Amino acid sequence: MSLLEVADLDVAYTRGNTRMPALRDINLTMERGAIVGLVGESGSGKSTLGLAIAQLLPGNGRVTAGTIAFDGTDLTSSTQAELRAFRGKRIGVVFQDPSASLNPVLTIGEQIAESIRLHHDTGESTSLLTETLRKYSGGLARRGRSWAMAVDMLARMGIPDPAGCARRFPHQLSGGMRQRAAIAMALSGEPDLLIADEPTTALDVTVQATILRELVELVREMNTSVLLVTHDLDVASYFCDRIAVLYSGQLFELASAKEIFENPQNPYTQRLLASQPNIDDESAELAVLEGDVPDPADELAGCRFAARCPEAIDLCRSTPPRLVTLPERLVTHDREHQCRCLLRDGTATAAAGGAGHQVLHARRPAGEDRR
């Protein structure tokens, strides 16, 4: 069983009396220990998907169809008590702004130690932190041990004076240190899944890379899976095993990072990659992605990228494509390569009377079975 199986998921926000779809027909599976990058332009629904998986959608946001199976339990039908048990202990969350997770009136050490006490029941059964616990078990009371473990987590996140940092309040730390502390706190329950929503975007580029490296090292040690929301394709290619490309509320492509960068199949992904600066060749001309991303709430007849796609044919403007596993002849490194495009899944060839209509794996037709 996969750690996370998001199936046929729709999410909508309510504005006034209007229901505005934000995610449509999302299918995403994550294996234990995998780091998956969720990329896409602003407004494509990245944060909404992270929040939906963590069951932290704001009051006006709601899952309107589909399921989110976490280790076999459908979170969309879980009670608040069940969700509280999952969050923190089994699903950790880090946001762009660390103040969203840190309490301004408690020291960093108090917060992380409290979280460790809550999630570990003194830590006897945990893996990574057990080592630390053993070091401190001789003579230290439970509170002292959880404090020692908190200091250890701060050290693992690359904080130079972890004991001093533990005694400080969030406002006494720099932005980078605050975010390290927020990550240490999110990982202190040794969760199975970490949802990290642009965790370093607000920071200096060099600090970003260091923090992400520390985070990745720590989650690899803990075998924690990560859904890393980022608009930065370089970050995704460097740190992620798989990449999911979102466009206007839909998954357009999903494959290993190597496959996405060396063999992108969706015309949108191809243009998104071509529009990124090339660090190896700064003089290379950048492709410009003309036009705007349609609001995920807009109802469109065909492919949501058709209006901007230079390859679009009439069929693309009338028929919604589905996310399918691509036929083998189109993949290079990853047989699980999934793509949403009529020009790639064989539909366009079949409609033109040609052979090779090979939809190998398709989920619910778009628009069906909305709650």
Ligand X SMILES: Nc1ncnc2c1ncn2[C@@H]1O[C@H](COP(=O)(O)OP(=O)(O)OP(=O)(O)O)[C@@H](O)[C@H]1O
What distances in angstroms separate CA 37 from CA 75, 111, 219, 239, 240, one per listed residue?
A: 21, 28, 14, 8, 6
If the CB atoms of residues 122 and 201 are measured against ligand X, the closer one turns out to be: 201
If the CB atoms of residues 74 and 298 are measured against ligand X, the closer one turns out to be: 298
State in angstroms the smallest separation of the CB of 195 from ligand X: 12
335 lines the binding site for ligand X (CB under 6 A): no
40 lines the binding site for ligand X (CB under 6 A): yes
134 lines the binding site for ligand X (CB under 6 A): no
13 lines the binding site for ligand X (CB under 6 A): yes
Measured N-to-C along each axis, helices 175-187 and 142-156 cross at an angle, to the nearest 10 degrees, of 120
State in angstroms the smallest separation of the CB of 2 from ligand X: 23
Q: Between 266 and 295, how does the x/- string for binding to ligand X read (CB under 6 A)?
A: -----------------------------x
The span of 36-44, 161-169, 251-259, 325-333 binding ligand X (CB under 6 A) equals 36-44
**How far is the C-alpha of 185 from the C-alpha of 113, rounded, in Å?**
9
> Which residues have C-beta within 8 Å of that of residue 246, sequence separation ≥ 6?
38, 39, 40, 44, 45, 46, 49, 252
DSSP-derived pairing of the beta strands 193-197 and 225-229: parallel
Give φ, ψ of 117 to 5 degrees: -65, -40
Residue 70, beta-bridge partner list: 4, 73
Contact status, residue 148 vs residue 135, Cβ threshold 8 Å: yes
79 lines the binding site for ligand X (CB under 6 A): no
48 lines the binding site for ligand X (CB under 6 A): yes
Interface residue with ligand X among 6, 35, 36, 46 (CB under 6 A) is 46
What distances in angstroms separate CA 248 from CA 41, 234, 296, one per listed residue?
A: 8, 21, 5
One-letter amino acid of 363 = R
State in angstroms the smallest separation of the CB of 232 from ligand X: 11
If the CB atoms of residues 42 and 79 are measured against ligand X, the closer one turns out to be: 42
Structure tokens at 284: 């290379």
Q: Between 231 and 250, how does the x/- string for binding to ligand X read (CB under 6 A)?
A: x-------------------
One-letter amino acid of 20 = M
44 lines the binding site for ligand X (CB under 6 A): yes
If the CB atoms of residues 58 and 139 are measured against ligand X, the closer one turns out to be: 58
Give the H or E element holding residue 166.
helix 162-166
- Interface contacts to ligand X, rule CB under 6 A: 13, 15, 20, 22, 40, 42-48, 58, 60-61, 231, 295-296
